[in-house]
C-alpha cells in the first residue's frame, strides 16, 4: 500500500494545538506529523452530576484548566514555549462559550510568540485523525464519523476535499447512547456505561428498530430512543437491564457498521476510516472488522487516544493547512455550526487576510 504521508506536506517546526469545543480541555504539540504530546483534561465527572453537558459549566471549567493543560503539553514535548512556531485551536463547530476559551487563549499565545495562527474545524480534525494510523489510509476513502454530536459518512478524496454521503436525520449515535443510558438508569457518559453493562446481556432479548430502511447512507436514531422508552415503561421492574443495554448497543452498532461498509461498496472504494468517540466502542470495532473482511474493505481505526476529542487531531489538520499557506486573523470568531471547509486559502501578509 502506498504511504500517503510521503506526498503530504506538513508544517515544519513545533506546532501547538488546542481543543475546547465541548467538555474536554486539550493541548498537543506536533512536529510535522509526529505527535510530541497530547494532554486531555476531561470534564466527565463534573457533568455526571447533571446527567449531561451544561454549556456554562463547561466554559468555566475550560477557563480554569486551559493554562495548566497547555503548560503540561509543552513540558511533555520537552520544549521551551519560545520554540513554538505556530498555534492552532478549534474554532467551529461546538459550544460557543467553550470554543471561545480555547480560541482566545490561542490567539493571545500566537500574538505573544509572533507566530502564525489558525482556527480549525473540529470535524476535519476527526476526519484527518486517521493519518496518524500506521500505515495511513490511502485516498480516496470513506470516513465514518461517530462522536457525541456527529454521525456522518464522508467520502475523503484527499485532505480538504470532502463529500457528504450520509448523516443522521435526528439524533447522533453518541446522543442515542447517552439518552439510552439515562432511560436505563446507567449514568453518564452513556456510551461507556452501555458498553460495560451490555457485556453480560443478551442482545436478542429485546428487538429494537434500526431506523431507516433500504439502500441509504443516512441514519435515524430517534425511533430507537422512543422504542427503548416504551420498553422501559412496559417492562417496569421486570426489565433486564443488561439485556436492554445489549439490545440497544446491537441496534446502534449494526446500523453504523452496515451503512459504513455498504457506502464503501457503492462508491467502489475499499478503504474505510472510523473516527470519533463512539469509535472506542469495542463491539463497533469488532463488527466493522467482520463486515469489512467479508466485503473486501480494509478498516482503519486511530489509537483510542485520538478517537475522543483531543488536540492532536486538531494539530494534524492544522499542520496540513498551515503548510498549504492558510492563516487566520485575530478577528476569527467561534461558530456553533459550520460545514466542512474546502481547500486552504493562502494568507496575504501585505493585506493581513486570506485570498
Contact present, 90 and 20 (Cβ < 8 Å):
yes
Q: Which residues contact 73 (CB under 8 A, 6 or more apart)?
A: 16, 27, 28, 29, 37, 38, 39, 311
How much is the mean pLDDT over the chain? 93
The predicted structure's pLDDT at residue 176: 93
- How many C-beta neighbours within 10 Å does residue 137 have? 20
- Alpha-carbon Rg for the chain, nearest whole angstrom, is 20
Q: What is the residue whose three cell numbers read 485532505?
A: 159
| Sign of the four-CA dihedral 198, 203, 208, 211 | positive
The predicted structure's pLDDT at residue 345: 86
Which has the minimum average pLDDT: 66-75, 210-219, 345-354? 345-354
The gap from C-alpha 232 to its chain's centroid, in whole angstroms, comes to 31
What are the φ and ψ backbone dihedral angles of 20, each rounded to 5 degrees?
-145, 40
Show the cell assigned to 7. 506526498
Integer Cα distance of 191 and 251 in angstroms: 13
Burial of 1 (0-12, 13-18, 19+ CB in 10 A): exposed
Top-confidence residue, 45 or 4 = 45
Tell me: pLDDT of 4 over 70: no
Contact present, 127 and 145 (Cβ < 8 Å):
yes
The predicted structure's pLDDT at residue 181: 95
Q: What is the residue whose three cell numbers read 467479508?
A: 294
Percent of the chain predicted with pLDDT > 70: 97
Domains within the chain, CATH numbers bracketed: 4-127+307-354 (3.30.420.40), 137-301 (3.30.420.40)
Q: Mean pLDDT over residues 48-56, rounded?
A: 90
Integer Cα distance of 45 and 341 in angstroms: 33
Q: Band of the pLDDT at 340, cuts 50, 70, 90?
A: very high
Contact present, 156 and 143 (Cβ < 8 Å):
yes
Integer Cα distance of 245 and 165 in angstroms: 29
Top-confidence residue, 139 or 352 = 139
Tell me: pLDDT of 3 over 80: no
Contact present, 10 and 321 (Cβ < 8 Å):
no
Tell me: pLDDT of 2 over 60: no
What confidence tens digit (pLDDT) does each residue in 199-251 have?
989 999 999 999 888 889 999 999 999 999 999 999 999 999 999 999 999 99
Q: Which residues contact 100 (CB under 8 A, 6 or more apart)?
A: 59, 334
Identify the three-state secondary structure at position 211: coil
What confidence tens digit (pLDDT) does each residue in 161-195 have?
999 999 999 999 999 999 999 999 998 888 889 99
Contact present, 52 and 187 (Cβ < 8 Å):
no
Contact present, 4 and 136 (Cβ < 8 Å):
yes
Tell me: pLDDT of 351 over 80: no
Show the cell assigned to 38. 497530547
- How many C-beta neighbours within 10 Å does residue 266 have? 12
Candidates 111, 66, 67, 88; CA nearest to 11 is 88
Integer Cα distance of 312 and 31 in angstroms: 11
Rounded to two decimals, the pTM is: 0.93
The predicted structure's pLDDT at residue 104: 98
The predicted structure's pLDDT at residue 332: 96
Q: Is 264 left (phi over 0), alpha (psi -120 to 50) or beta?
A: alpha
Amino acid at each position: 500500500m502506498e504511504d500517503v504521508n510521503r506526498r503530504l506536506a506538513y508544517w515544519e517546526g513545533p506546532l501547538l494545538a488546542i481543543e475546547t469545543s465541548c467538555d474536554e480541555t486539550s493541548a498537543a504539540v506536533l512536529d510535522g506529523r509526529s505527535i510530541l504530546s497530547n494532554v486531555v483534561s476531561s470534564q466527565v465527572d463534573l457533568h455526571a452530576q447533571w446527567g449531561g453537558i451544561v454549556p456554562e459549566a463547561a466554559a468555566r471549567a475550560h477557563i480554569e484548566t486551559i493554562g495548566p493543560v497547555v503548560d503540561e503539553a509543552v513540558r511533555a514535548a520537552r520544549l521551551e514555549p519560545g520554540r513554538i512556531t505556530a498555534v492552532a485551536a478549534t474554532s467551529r463547530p461546538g459550544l460557543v462559550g467553550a470554543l471561545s476559551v480555547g480560541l482566545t487563549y490561542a490567539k493571545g499565545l500566537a500574538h505573544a510568540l509572533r507566530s502564525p495562527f489558525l482556527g480549525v474545524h473540529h470535524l476535519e480534525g476527526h476526519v484527518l485523525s486517521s493519518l496518524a494510523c500506521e500505515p495511513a489510509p490511502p485516498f480516496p476513502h470513506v470516513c465514518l464519523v461517530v462522536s457525541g454530536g456527529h454521525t456522518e459518512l464522508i467520502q475523503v478524496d484527499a485532505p480538504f476535499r470532502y463529500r457528504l454521503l450520509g448523516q443522521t436525520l435526528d439524533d447522533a449515535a453518541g446522543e442515542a447512547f447517552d439518552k439510552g443510558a439515562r432511560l436505563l438508569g446507567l449514568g453518564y457518559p452513556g456510551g461507556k456505561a452501555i458498553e460495560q453493562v451490555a457485556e453480560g446481556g443478551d442482545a436478542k432479548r429485546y428487538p429494537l428498530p434500526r431506523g431507516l430502511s433500504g439502500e441509504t447512507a443516512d441514519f435515524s436514531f430517534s425511533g430507537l430512543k422512543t422504542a427503548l422508552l416504551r420498553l422501559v415503561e412496559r417492562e417496569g421492574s421486570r426489565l433486564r437491564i443488561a439485556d436492554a443495554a445489549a439490545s440497544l448497543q446491537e441496534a446502534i452498532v449494526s446500523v453504523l457498521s452496515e451503512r459504513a461498509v455498504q457506502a464503501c461498496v457503492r462508491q467502489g472504494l475499499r478503504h474505510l476510516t472510523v473516527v470519533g468517540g463512539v469509535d472506542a466502542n469495542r463491539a463497533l470495532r469488532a463488527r466493522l472488522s467482520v463486515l469489512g473482511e467479508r466485503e473486501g474493505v480494509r478498516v482503519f481505526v486511530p489509537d483510542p487516544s485520538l478517537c475522543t476529542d483531543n488536540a492532536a487531531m486538531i494539530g494534524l489538520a492544522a499542520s496540513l493547512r498551515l503548510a498549504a499557506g492558510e492563516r487566520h486573523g485575530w478577528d476569527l470568531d467561534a461558530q456553533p455550526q459550520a460545514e466542512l471547509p474546502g481547500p486552504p486559502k493562502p494568507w496575504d501578509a501585505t493585506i493581513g487576510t486570506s485570498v
